[in-house]
Structure 1
């Protein structure tokens, strides 16, 4: 028998406290995940992206049709945010909305500069309020082409996107910089606490000014 076989083996360390602690951490992580799953609006879940809707062009004005077709094309193209921001690397949801409206012939006018691009959601809301076309969430039913405005309580903070279809009290929206992409989502504006209101685009005149 070899000498090392006669050596006394050190006692095994007890791992029970470590196992218990790891189990507690796992339970906490799972609990937080379940809470997030139930409280975060579905439209912000990375895998929750709806198909671009098939809309009835006969029910819309030429301006609405132009907005929808632009959104369809950009959703398919998935360009980087700097494309809509004149090369500026910054949060681009409002820039995306500004670009779509300019291309559709309904350009915005930044209240601070007069430029077509409004990079901030707060300033975008200010623009609609000054134009008399801001509709707070409540009794108003949005139309195709309206701009949705969200406050900081939404999962992405202040945010904005565009309505492409309305069915009862639900809408389908398309927005930029949603998980860094252009995404299509379903919106229940009456029960979504992050929705502040809507910017009503002047669809009949074909101008946002």
Structure 2
């Protein structure tokens, strides 16, 4: 009888563990089908999830370990649909309209053609993709595609983080302390990428003090389930990656590793201190309720998704052999044909 009792207890514990595992399942496969949902928050999650699936679902687990990564930003193949990761990143830049502000950077103009033409070598663009952080371009692309009213796209996360703090009326987001807020789908969790540790108070002082720029990273929250928060961001270990974080019964972050002054440096000798989730988490951008978002603009699904960018018919930083003529200089009337170019990029 005692053995039978223990047996029943073990079975019950296994069933309980199994139910928790089921509750904590990745919701992205189902969410990715809801890009036309009536709710803005769901559309944000759906668009981000769809891209995460395209990148073969890389993720960092709740213990801060990189658990899966099969496609990298610089590679020429590896996406689920057979596409090249670097061209996909170029598409985020181009489709979000953010290449213009970075036209002065080497290879940026090359991406206008490379993003839409798989036969174009795009060597300059490929270099641009590798050399420039693209996480803000990804977030901007997601917000545009999801039709978030009042969101201002930017190649820098700091711009919309600052807007949420400085212009809460005009922003679709509210600037909040990450550890005190209850997380919800559509929110963004952000950290500062700097040798200095800012934290929430430091970031507030920087914004209120008029800081014009600060290196940051933001992930969109796509699901809260089974004691876990699931976030997705671009350029997470050179991919569109998911991060899994612990939350308590109130939906607040729990046990989140945060950087502090004097942290032990991660190394093979101090492996216990290595954690990809340990960051200078400084802000949670809280997505406003649907009725408040409606005051900023239409909250219905976009009737038309952003138009696919049109490939350029000429290039600025040209590559011999690409077959694309150079754009004419001011005062010229015809593109310069590629056979007249010097060897290599100009």
Tell me which interval the TM-score lies in, with the shorter structure as reference length. 0.5 to 0.7
Is structure 2 residue 39 aligned with structure 1 residue 62?
yes
1:143 aligned residue: 184
Instruction: Classify 1:203/1:123 alpha carbon distance in 2 versus 1 (closer, same or farther; 3 Å).
Output: same
Structure 1 residues 4-48: Cα deviation after superposition (integer angstroms, max 9, x where no partner): xxxxxxxxxxxxxxxxxxxxxxxxxxxxxxxxxxxxxxxxxxxxx
Structure 1 residues 60-104: Cα deviation after superposition (integer angstroms, max 9, x where no partner): 962122122211221233453222222543211111111111111
| Alpha-carbon shift at residue 208 of structure 1 (Å) | 9.5
Give me the CA root mean square deviation. 3.1
Highest CA radius of gyration, 1 or 2?
A: 1
Q: In 1, distance between residues paired with 2:167 and 2:28?
A: 30
Instruction: Name which of 118, 138, 143 aligns with 2:154.
Output: 118
Instruction: Classify 1:74/1:108 alpha carbon distance in 2 versus 1 (closer, same or farther; 3 Å).
Output: farther
Is structure 2 residue 51 aligned with structure 1 residue 74?
yes
| Aligned positions of 1:53-202 closer than 5 A | 53=28, 62-78=39-55, 79=85, 80-86=88-94, 87=99, 88=108, 89=128, 90-109=132-151, 116-132=152-168, 133-152=174-193, 158-167=216-225, 170-188=228-246, 189-190=253-254, 191-193=256-258, 194=279, 195-202=281-288
| Alpha-carbon shift at residue 150 of structure 1 (Å) | 0.8
Structure showing the higher strand proportion among its residues: 1
Instruction: Classify 1:54/1:203 alpha carbon distance in 2 versus 1 (closer, same or farther; 3 Å).
Output: farther
Instruction: Classify 1:100/1:64 alpha carbon distance in 2 versus 1 (closer, same or farther; 3 Å).
Output: same
Aligned residues: 150
* 8 Å Cα contact 1:106/1:208 also seen in 2: no
Say which SS state the counterpart of residue 144 (structure 1) adopts. Answer: coil
| Alpha-carbon shift at residue 107 of structure 1 (Å) | 4.6
Q: In 2, distance between residues paired with 1:203 and 1:82?
A: 32
Q: In 2, distance between residues paired with 1:198 and 1:63?
A: 18
Say which SS state the counterpart of residue 85 (structure 1) adopts. Answer: helix
1:30 aligned residue: none
* 8 Å Cα contact 1:150/1:197 also seen in 2: yes
Q: In 2, distance between residues paired with 1:93 and 1:207?
A: 27
2:75 aligned residue: none
